[in-house]
């Protein structure tokens, strides 16, 4: 049995295979996930699991050098933006349009779909190294 907190085997598998600068995304339940990108669907019902709880769980396992978020997040859902900043700390933040973020999903190793229904509750995490 694993000793680390993250129990989801699909997320653990993807994270264990990621290298420096690889990306994984966490999104709300409405984020369109490209057919060619692996989908890890956690959504149960409205709000469960939440975006921020999912982000917290992933950050327990992943070293992150940079996050990519839609500039609309800061404008439309400032609480989500503040929560993201609080969780990632001093990590570099790159702002793109929501359309650009959706295009970047094609490059992600996976997109984790949550039950979140807050507009623009989406983030791409760029993997760092622990050394």
70 annotated to a ligand binding site: no
28 annotated to a ligand binding site: yes
In DSSP terms, 70 is beta-bridged to: 96
In DSSP terms, 94 is beta-bridged to: 68
pLDDT digit string, tens, across residues 100-129:
999 999 999 999 999 999 999 999 999 999
**Chain-centre distance for alpha carbon 72:** 16
Going from N- to C-terminal start, the domains of the chain cover 21-127
Query: For 69, how many CA atoms within 13 A lie in the half-sphere containing its CB?
Result: 28
pLDDT digit string, tens, across residues 61-112:
999 999 999 999 999 999 999 999 999 999 999 999 999 999 999 999 999 9
Over residues 41-54, mean pLDDT: 98
110 annotated to a ligand binding site: no
| pLDDT (0 to 100) of residue 3 | 79
CA-based nearest residue to 122, from 82, 81, 61: 81
Pair 10, 109: CB distance under 8 Å: no
Q: Active site includes 116?
A: no
Instruction: Name the residue with higher pLDDT: 71 or 5.
Output: 71
65 annotated to a ligand binding site: no
Q: CATH assignment of 21-127, given 3.40.50.920, 1.20.120.850, 3.40.1650.10, 3.30.1360.200? A: 3.40.1650.10
Pair 83, 52: CB distance under 8 Å: yes
Active-site annotation holder among 17, 20, 39, 92: 20
């Amino acid at each position: 049995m694993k000793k680390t907190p993250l129990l989801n085997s699909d997320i653990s598998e993807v994270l264990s295979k990621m290298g420096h600068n690889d990306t994984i995304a966490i999104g709300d339940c409405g984020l369109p996930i490209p057919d060619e990108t692996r989908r890890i669907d956690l959504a149960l019902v409205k709000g469960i699991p939440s975006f921020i709880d999912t982000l917290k769980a992933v950050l327990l396992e992943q070293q992150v050098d940079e996050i990519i978020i839609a500039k609309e997040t800061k404008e439309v859902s400032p609480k989500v933006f503040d929560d993201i900043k609080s969780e990632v700390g001093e990590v570099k933040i790159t702002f793109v349009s929501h359309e650009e973020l959706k295009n970047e999903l094609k490059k992600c190793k996976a997109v984790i779909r949550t039950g979140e229904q807050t507009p623009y509750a989406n983030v791409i995490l760029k993997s760092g190294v622990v050394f």
